[in-house]
């Protein structure tokens, strides 16, 4: 198996894992808000969201700068997809924070911690789905 084949396989795996992380972040947010007294679910949400955010970074390139596979997994196209996905995450954060502000103004009971979690989850999920979609679309073409 060539270096290019390994990089393509790892790239597809990374994209699929991003979909998984975004769904799991949304699911744990929903479950932890349904059961606010569960510290385990809050911790699970925190861990998944942190892992999702770290996975958006070019860690392989930073940790293994001489690796040919890591270089292929962080080429110009991937960097552009990462930039676009961060832009999508930013706009998801803006829209979700405005939605939370409107909901709280209408006297919806929401703790500040839950409001921050909603905004963070929306941003991370949007960025991950955007990145995964762009990567899979590029892999097909």
Tens-place pLDDT, residues 64-98: 888 888 888 888 988 999 999 999 999 999 999 99
H or E segment and range at residue 18: helix 3-34
How would you class 117 by CB atoms within 10 Å of its CB: exposed for 0-12, middle for 13-18, buried for 19 or more? Answer: buried
For residue 120, what are the contacts with CB-CB under 8 A and spacing of at least 6? 49, 93
Tens-place pLDDT, residues 98-137: 999 998 887 778 888 999 999 999 999 999 999 999 999 9
CA distance 53 to 66: 24
Q: Which conformational region is residue 128 in: left (phi greater than 0), alpha (psi within -120 to 50 degrees), or beta?
A: alpha
Give this prediction's pTM: 0.90
């Amino acid at each position: 198996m060539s270096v290019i084949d390994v990089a393509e396989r790892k790239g597809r795996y990374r994209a699929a894992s991003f979909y998984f992380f975004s769904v799991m972040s949304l699911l744990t947010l929903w479950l932890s808000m349904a059961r606010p007294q569960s510290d385990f679910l809050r911790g699970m949400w925190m861990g998944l969201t942190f892992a999702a955010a770290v996975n958006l970074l070019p860690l392989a390139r930073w940790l293994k700068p001489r690796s040919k596979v890591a270089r292929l997994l962080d080429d110009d196209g991937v960097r552009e997809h990462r930039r676009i996905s961060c832009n999508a995450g930013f706009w998801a954060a803006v829209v979700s924070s405005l939605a939370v502000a409107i909901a709280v103004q209408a006297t919806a009971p929401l703790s500040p911690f839950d409001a921050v979690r909603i905004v963070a989850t929306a941003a991370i999920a949007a960025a991950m789905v955007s990145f995964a979609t762009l990567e899979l679309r590029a892999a097909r073409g």
